[in-house]
Amino acid sequence: TSPSLRTTSPMLRQVARQLASASVAARHGGAAAPRTFTSSSARATTVLCVRKDGDVVLMADGQVTLGSQVVKPNVKKVRRIQPGVIGGFAGATADAFTLFERLEMKLEEHPGQLTRAAVELAKAWRNDKYLRRLEATMVVADAEHIFQITGGGDVIEPEGGIIGIGSGGPFAVAAARALIDIPGMTARDICLKAMTIAADTCVYTNHNFVTETISPGDAKNADGDAAASKDTDAKEMKKEKK
């Protein structure tokens, strides 16, 4: 036997023992490895949100990639959750819509309080046995706040009113930061230019952009709806006391 074979043989035996141990543990109900947010579906998109001069613009591309194949070019990855609240996602579509539904429930519990709703969703997402298996990351925004919410319990509010997620997110954010101070460019102009740069750079991002916008007028309407909801709740509580 050659020296090289004598050297590698113990290493191969050690690897084989480790694989056998893992197989036995799995058969006997050993703890399964936690799902981590590393799938290609989680990375293969670009979502960008920009706030400037009272306008909030959320823009995403429409490409869905499965491995090395583009399976659909026009998926809608952003939506209006409530009046004055918009959201976008990167990751598994079904998981993202489940989380949007949970966020709507939290907003109904806390009308007009996106920050509290986002924190409550992140807590549930991290602690709930079912929700923690969902593979997605979200961007949600109202007229005053923009948050990135992840399954790790993170609720991140960006500095400067710019946030991006997905494989092309860093490219889009870098471009948006370079454009944000240019006079005459609106939030929509910045998003469009930055997303175009991301689409030209990232192979998982195309040029079929879908946009949701919050204007100052939308924010006032949302505040009015929230105030009306609070008044209704207060009246119902008074009736119950009587």
44 versus 55: the higher-pLDDT residue is 55
Name the token pair of 174: 């870098």
Q: What is the pLDDT of residue 152?
A: 78
| Residue in 89, 110, 83, 95 with CA at minimum distance from that of residue 35 | 95
Alpha helices in the chain (DSSP H): 3-27, 40-43, 93-109, 114-127, 169-179, 187-201, 216-241
**Active site members:** 45
Query: Angle formed by the axes of helices 187-201 and 169-179, to 10°?
Result: 140
Does an H or E element contain 64, and which? strand 64-66
Name the token pair of 1: 């036997």
Pairing outcome for strands 69-72 and 78-82 = unpaired
For the cut 60, the answer to whether the pLDDT of residue 239 exceeds it is: no
Q: How far does Cα 141 stand from its chain's mean position?
A: 11
Strands in 162-166's sheet, in edge-to-edge order, are 162-166, 46-52, 55-60, 210-214
For the cut 70, the answer to whether the pLDDT of residue 39 exceeds it is: no
183 versus 153: the higher-pLDDT residue is 183
pLDDT in tens, 148-170: 998 778 899 998 999 999 999 99
pLDDT in tens, 64-101: 888 788 888 999 999 999 999 999 999 888 888 888 99
pLDDT in tens, 79-89: 999 999 999 99
Q: What is the mean pLDDT of residues 187-215?
A: 96
Confidence of residue 22 (pLDDT cuts 50, 70, 90): low
Q: What is the pLDDT of residue 133?
A: 77
pLDDT in tens, 121-149: 988 888 877 777 788 889 999 999 999 99
Q: What is the mean pLDDT of residues 105-122?
A: 92
Confidence of residue 34 (pLDDT cuts 50, 70, 90): very low
Cβ–Cβ < 8 Å for 26, 37? no
